[in-house]
Structure 1
Amino acid sequence: MPFSQAEIEEEQAHFANVITTFQQYAAYSLAANNRRRKDLFTLPVADQEILESLKYKEKLAEADRAILANAEFLNQVVANPEIFGHDLDEDDGPEEGPSGGSGGQSTTGKGHPHDHPQTHSHSHSHSHGSHSHSHGSPSAITSVSDTSKRKKYRPTDFDMDKLRSTLKQFVRDWSEEGKSERELSYGPMRDALLQHFADIPPEERGNFRVLVPGAGLGRLAWDVAKLGFACQGNEFSHYMLLSSYFILNRTDEIGKHTIYPYVHSFSNLPSNTAMLRPITVPDVLPSSLPPGSNFSLVAGDFEEIYGAENNEDEPQAGTWDAIMTCFFIDTAKNIVNYLRIIHRILAPGGVWINCGPLLWHFENNSTNDPSIELNLEEVKALARKIGFEISNKRTIDTTYTNNTQSMLGYTYHAAFWTATKVI
């Protein structure tokens, strides 16, 4: 179904707002750090002197330097946001500020694929909004009927929280630091995939199609393609799509970029190192997929892209041999439809591999979106009713974008299973 002009303008506005959020990271974060300086000067002189002896001001200065380093990296991410095919207004460029970065304009049209040296590509379908594994209300979307009259967007606290979460996602997916965390989730999923196709010679894995919805920054999908399977990731968030495109297509060296993902909070820290330590990305060369690898990322809403009964571009029913959902199914507004789509697009005997909690993203939302929230037993019962035979059930204790050196950490008792399509 073609998109209306209003829908196209709405997405263009949201995309421009996301770009602005990247570009305004430095100003926003430095202002937050300056608040700490102002607070320091409200104290009695004697207290200031004590804190001076603890080198508190030096810590603030080091935080400033880390923020500026992050800003330089984030400005590179959005320097050429060409995967979306949007024309940004001339006044959507970055404002003058201490970060010294510069934004770019989108230059390609809707749906245009972008080839990676190892046949990785991004393609695009229109979608709206974004969400992630964090609490909060969705970012406001500015509707535009006349882009020339649209005021400069001012990123909200929620926007910046999503951007800070994106920095941590780089750690989870593309750093040595994040290896232990991602292996708790990705490792069992890869093992289950290999077990399901154990009778397939490695050289024939390319004949089997694997879908990874909610792909984030793409590491799990990349890992699956590295194993030799034909793999497609799907992602909805512009923050993730811009970042995955950058790391996968514009990064040509291991450890090329240095970020400081933990600089934004001074709480629950045993030392300055826990907050200010640098993280280098990526830990592998994204272009190191075997020659001829079939690896792609598709932008857009999972239900819109894969849920249509009659998709003229690529009929989906029965075309996927495996679907891997990692921290994904709880992004559903209607979990019944999510599982129905997964079942419909799997080939007969295809496998669905799941790992994740049930942090229902739209629970108590402020946007009047529907939200159906089931407990784990209900989700499993629903899966059986739809036509899955569930096996290999277990609980995996894991974190998600956790600072390993923090005094605080959240552990998910994530549900893991494999399920085969039986009807």
Structure 2
Amino acid sequence: MAHSYDQSDAEEEKLHFANVIATFQNYAQYSLSANNRRRKDLYTLPKADQELLIALGYREKLDQVDQAIIANADFLSEVVADPEIFGHALGNTEAESESSATANHHSHEHVSPGHTHSHDHSYSHTHDGTPQRRGRYKPTDFDMDKLRSTLKQFVRDWSVEGREEREACYKPMKEALLTHFAEIPVSERGCIRVLVPGAGLGRLAHDVAGLGFTCQGNEFSHYMLLSSHFILNRTEAVNAHMIYPYVHSFSNLASSEALLRPITIPDVLPSGLPQGVDFSLVAGDFEEIYGAEIKADEPQAGQWDAILTCFFIDTAKNIVNYLRIIHKILAPGGIWINVGPLLWHWENNTTNDPSIELSLAEVKELARAIGFRITDERTIDTTYTSNAQGMLGYVYHAEFWTATKV
């Protein structure tokens, strides 16, 4: 059940947002300090060892990492340079406030606060208990993990480098969507409403809108929302930005190039959607926006022709409620397309939040019980924000299916 959005929620939201901004702004200091630790360690070694490592170019590599960190910091400063669309929303105690849509029809609506999650392995089962404190906020290691993960998300969603990884998931989803609505003329796709919960940096939702469908993304993480707003609304050229997403860890690298190589973003012009396409991004908790005491006469019920969930359903505390909401807001005969693993984000949480953790077979049985007919089931092996030139990569045996509302 959703709680009412009151003044204390607004204050908590405002504080959390300020802390996220502080994390972006403290990236350089934090990351340069971490790299300087390596430099200090070098000089604790015996002179002969130092000379061997310096001859290998180790000291020069550390200097190059400093420069890459500074370049990242400049980029991240741009991302948070103009966040008043959120500032306006955060100062508003009502449940929703909307910024003006920009040329690419990308708009934000503020809803309500809660936890943010990621499939980044370094903190996938940790939960954000951002403390309420006075004075200057000092970002935690956990905060910085999320920011570093955001840099990798830019690679996944908006670079040539990330194309193979993202298309492993996005391509079959888009194909299934097109197949399901194959009888609808391209000129009439705007009548088909598609929802993408857990939209992240917005590429899947953007691509669906590019196919002509009316598409709405939904995202909760402020890291993702700030970054998606920047890339979608304030980026005016292909390859406008250069980032160095892999400089934060020296482990499992075959070469210095794998550590230091730059990635340019975006690989397509985000504002290049067809004229008149209806594309929006709603900020807030999926359950609170789309599932708050849904009744048949309420706005969301039966209003979506398709729902695409990519690496999303395992963010649920209560998977029963997620699937119930998806079923309720789908139109009769509507299609739910899913791909992802089951990395239950609230498992073993330290915040006393409930967590229901099912096997794949149980999730599918639950979906059928709620009223879905599942078809086209298959497994897709895929990485997630992986360094393609690294010596270690986690491979998910992600499950794909399409399901229709019975």
- 1:118 corresponds in structure 2 to 104
Q: Which moved more, 1:109-118 or 1:131-140?
A: 109-118
Matched, 1:410 2:399: no
Question: Of 113, 121, 132, which aligns to 1:143?
Answer: 132
Question: Of 19, 22, 30, which aligns to 2:32?
Answer: 30
- State whether residues 89 and 98 of structure 2, in contact with CA within 8 Å, keep that contact through their aligned partners in structure 1: no
Matched, 1:70 2:72: yes
Local SS of the residue matching 1:139: coil
- 1:99 corresponds in structure 2 to none
Shift, 1:123, TM fit? 1.6
Local SS of the residue matching 2:349: coil
Tell me, in whole angstroms, the C-alpha distance in 2 between the residues paired with 1:27 and 1:107: 32
Question: Of 38, 41, 46, which aligns to 1:39?
Answer: 41
CA deviation profile, 1:399-420 (whole Å, cap 9, x unmatched): 1001000000010000000000
Tell me, in whole angstroms, the C-alpha distance in 2 between the residues paired with 1:78 and 1:304: 26
Amino acid at match of 2:206: W
Local SS of the residue matching 1:303: helix
Q: 1:371 to 1:49 in 2, by over 3 A?
A: same
Q: 1:87 to 1:111 in 2, by over 3 A?
A: closer
CA RMSD of aligned residues (A): 1.8
Question: Of 143, 159, 164, which aligns to 2:143?
Answer: 159
Tell me, in whole angstroms, the C-alpha distance in 1 between the residues paired with 2:297 and 2:241: 37
- State whether residues 318 and 346 of structure 1, in contact with CA within 8 Å, keep that contact through their aligned partners in structure 2: yes
- State whether residues 174 and 281 of structure 1, in contact with CA within 8 Å, keep that contact through their aligned partners in structure 2: yes
- 1:102 corresponds in structure 2 to none
Shift, 1:356, TM fit? 0.2
Which runs of no fewer than 5 residues in structure 2 stay unpaired?
none
- State whether residues 83 and 124 of structure 1, in contact with CA within 8 Å, keep that contact through their aligned partners in structure 2: no
Shift, 1:118, TM fit? 2.8
Amino acid at match of 1:365: N
Tell me, in whole angstroms, the C-alpha distance in 2 between the residues paired with 1:285 and 1:31: 35
Local SS of the residue matching 2:98: coil
Tell me, in whole angstroms, the C-alpha distance in 1 between the residues paired with 2:404 and 2:372: 5
Shift, 1:132, TM fit? 1.2
Local SS of the residue matching 1:115: coil
Shift, 1:113, TM fit? 2.6
Tell me, in whole angstroms, the C-alpha distance in 1 between the residues paired with 2:186 and 2:339: 24
Report matched runs for 1:22-421 at 5 Å. Answer: 22-86=24-88, 111-134=97-120, 135-143=124-132, 150-310=134-294, 315-421=299-405
Shift, 1:8, TM fit? 1.1
Tell me, in whole angstroms, the C-alpha distance in 2 between the residues paired with 1:219 and 1:119: 14
Q: 1:87 to 1:211 in 2, by over 3 A?
A: closer
- State whether residues 125 and 348 of structure 2, in contact with CA within 8 Å, keep that contact through their aligned partners in structure 1: no
- State whether residues 122 and 298 of structure 1, in contact with CA within 8 Å, keep that contact through their aligned partners in structure 2: yes
Give the structure-2-normalised TM-score.
Answer: 0.95
Q: 1:313 to 1:78 in 2, by over 3 A?
A: farther
Q: 1:47 to 1:6 in 2, by over 3 A?
A: same
Amino acid at match of 1:50: L
Amino acid at match of 2:99: P
Q: 1:361 to 1:136 in 2, by over 3 A?
A: closer
- State whether residues 125 and 347 of structure 2, in contact with CA within 8 Å, keep that contact through their aligned partners in structure 1: no
Count matched residues.
400
- State whether residues 28 and 69 of structure 2, in contact with CA within 8 Å, keep that contact through their aligned partners in structure 1: yes
Amino acid at match of 1:117: A
Q: Percent same amino acid among aligned pairs?
A: 70
Q: 1:107 to 1:383 in 2, by over 3 A?
A: closer
Local SS of the residue matching 2:404: strand
Tell me, in whole angstroms, the C-alpha distance in 2 between the residues paired with 1:311 and 1:403: 45
CA deviation profile, 1:206-237 (whole Å, cap 9, x unmatched): 00100000000000000000000000000010
Give the structure-1-normalised TM-score.
Answer: 0.92
Tell me, in whole angstroms, the C-alpha distance in 2 between the residues paired with 1:266 and 1:207: 49
